[in-house]
Copies of this chain bind each other. A is one copy, B any other.
Amino acid sequence: MSRLSRDDVIEAAGRLFAKQGYHATSMRDLGGELGILGGSVYAHVSSKEELLVEVVQRAGRLFGESAEQAMSSSEHPEDQLKALIRGHIGVVLDHRDEAQTFLNEATALGESNRQAIVGERDTYEALFRSVIADGITEGAFRSDLDANLAATFVLSILNAIERWYRPDGRVDPASLTNDLHRFAISGIS
C-alpha cells in the first residue's frame, strides 16, 4: 500500500457520504475505507465538514461546466434544452457519488457554505427556466404552461435519476436522454 493523496481521501469520502449520508459516516468509517485510522485522516484535511464542502463543490463545478458547454452548443432553445439534459445526465452518471452527495447532503453543510452552494444551484436552475422561457417566446414551445413550473418539472426528473438508475440496468444513457427530452417536449400522449 502506497501512501494516500488528498484526492484519494475526498473521493472515498464522497463514496461514503453518497452511500450512508454525511451524519451516518464517521471519520473512523472513512479511515476504514482507506485502510488507515480515523485520526490519520487529519493529515489530509482539517475537519469533517471540509470533506463535505470539497465533495459538494466538486459536483457543483461539474454541473456548472456542463451547463456552460450546453448553452454554447446551440442558439435554439430546444437544442439547448436537450444539451442541458444530456449534460446533466452525463454528470450524474459519470460522477454518481459526488452528484448524490451534492443533491442529498447539502443540508448538512454549515450555514455559510450551504448558502454558497444554494446560490450556485439557483444559477444552474435559472438556466433551465430561461431556456424554456426563450422557447416559449420564440414559439418553439407552447405558451399556456408556466416556464418556471415546467423547468421545475424537468429538473425534478433529472435530480431523481440517481435514485433509481443502475449502471448495469437495461436503460442506457443515450436513450434515457432521448426519452426524457421527448417526454419533456411531448408528454405521454
Contacts and interface: CB of A to CB of B under 8 A. Distances in A.
A58 to B, nearest CB: 22
A188 interface: yes
B188 A135 contact: yes
B141 A153 contact: no
Given A23-B23, A157-B153, A142 B188 contact: yes
Interface in A153-189: 153, 155-157, 159-161, 163-164, 171, 176, 179-180, 182-189
A1 interface: no
B146 A179 contact: yes
A140 interface: yes
Interface in A113-145: 132, 135, 140-142, 145
Contacts of A43: none
Contacts of A182: 145, 187
A152 interface: yes
A179 to B, nearest CB: 5
A53 interface: no
Given A145-B183, A145-B188, 12 more contacts: A21-B21, A21-B23, A21-B108, A141-B189, A142-B188, A149-B171, A150-B183, A153-B183, A155-B160, A156-B156, A156-B160, A157-B157
Interface of A: 21, 23-24, 104, 107-108, 132, 135, 140-142, 145-146, 149-150, 152-153, 155-157, 159-161, 163-164, 171, 176, 179-180, 182-189
17 contacts: A21-B23, A23-B24, A24-B108, A140-B189, A141-B188, A142-B186, A142-B189, A145-B182, A146-B179, A149-B183, A153-B180, A156-B156, A159-B160, A184-B188, A185-B187, A185-B189, A186-B187
